[in-house]
């Protein structure tokens, strides 16, 4: 169970939202508070480094935002980040420094740590993506179960009731998700793990692993 704690998934030095995780053990515990925290954090940002472009939207002066991107607050876009044409940021979103939000990518109620890449046709909702996490083209988080029941995180030998209906995926630092993969509700991917393309993933993938298919997870050498 240690693989799914905040301290073992994320380097909190690599996010402007570190205080959001204070007093929490598991990352999904912060999901209900992202919006309120974004408002508080945005109000504290330096006017020398960030522009408040409209109600509850703060964009770093060094960020590059395509004219056709759509951003709804509350949202914070970090330094040196690129938001590409057709990106759809729906609110309750904190994007870290040096990140890429790609064409036709949609974000909702998420925290992206520094240098995260969601560069092509991604949907990321109710999720936390750690430092340098990368989602390949067309990979998405599925954030609501088909039966609409509360999400349970299932690992080897344990199950944790989250009490949350909307929960996408928790991606640890340096994770790689292959193209056109689906991360089902309750997914946790440990640090430095890889997901094969075209995968349908659920449950806990341990750190330093390669997910090839359901029932076939191998450790990296």
**Domain extents in the chain:** 2-219
Quote the pLDDT of residue 138.
98
Say whether the peptide bond before residue 143 is cis (omega within 30 degrees of 0): no
Which residues, 6 or more positions from 17, have their beta carbon under 8 angstroms from its beta carbon?
A: 37, 41, 94, 96, 111
**Active-site annotation holder among 79, 90, 120, 165:** 120
Q: ∠ CA(194), CA(131), CA(200), 5° rounding?
A: 30
Query: Class for domain 2-219, per CATH?
Result: mainly beta
Quote the pLDDT of residue 214.
87
For the chain, list residues with pLDDT below 70: none
Q: Is 134 a catalytic residue?
A: no
CA distance 117 to 156: 29
What pLDDT digit, counting tens, does each position of 40-90 carry? 999 999 999 999 998 899 999 999 999 999 999 999 999 999 999 999 999
Kind and range of the H or E run holding 166: none
Kind and range of the H or E run holding 93: strand 93-95
């Amino acid at each position: 169970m240690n693989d799914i704690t905040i301290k073992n998934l994320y380097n909190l030095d690599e996010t402007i939202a570190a205080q959001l995780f204070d007093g929490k053990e598991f990352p999904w515990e912060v999901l209900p508070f992202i919006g309120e925290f974004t408002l508080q954090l945005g109000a504290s940002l330096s006017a020398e480094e960030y522009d408040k472009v409209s109600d509850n939207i703060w964009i770093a002066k060094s960020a590059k935002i395509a004219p056709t991107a759509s951003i709804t607050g509350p949202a914070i876009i970090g330094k040196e980040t690129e938001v590409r044409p057709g990106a759809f940021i729906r609110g309750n979103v904190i994007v870290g420094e040096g990140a890429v939000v790609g064409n036709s990518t949609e974000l909702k109620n998420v925290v992206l740590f520094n240098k995260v890449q969601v560069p092509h046709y991604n949907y990321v909702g109710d999720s936390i993506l750690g430092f340098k996490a990368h989602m390949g083209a067309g990979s998405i988080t599925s954030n609501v179960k088909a039966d609409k029941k509360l999400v349970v995180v299932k690992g080897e030998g344990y199950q944790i009731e989250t009490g949350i209906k909307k929960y996408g995926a928790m991606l640890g630092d340096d994770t790689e998700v292959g193209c056109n993969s689906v991360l089902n509700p309750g997914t946790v991917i440990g640090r430095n793990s890889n997901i094969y393309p075209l995968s349908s993933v659920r449950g806990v993938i341990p750190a330093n692993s390669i997910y090839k298919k359901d029932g076939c997870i191998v450790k990296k050498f």
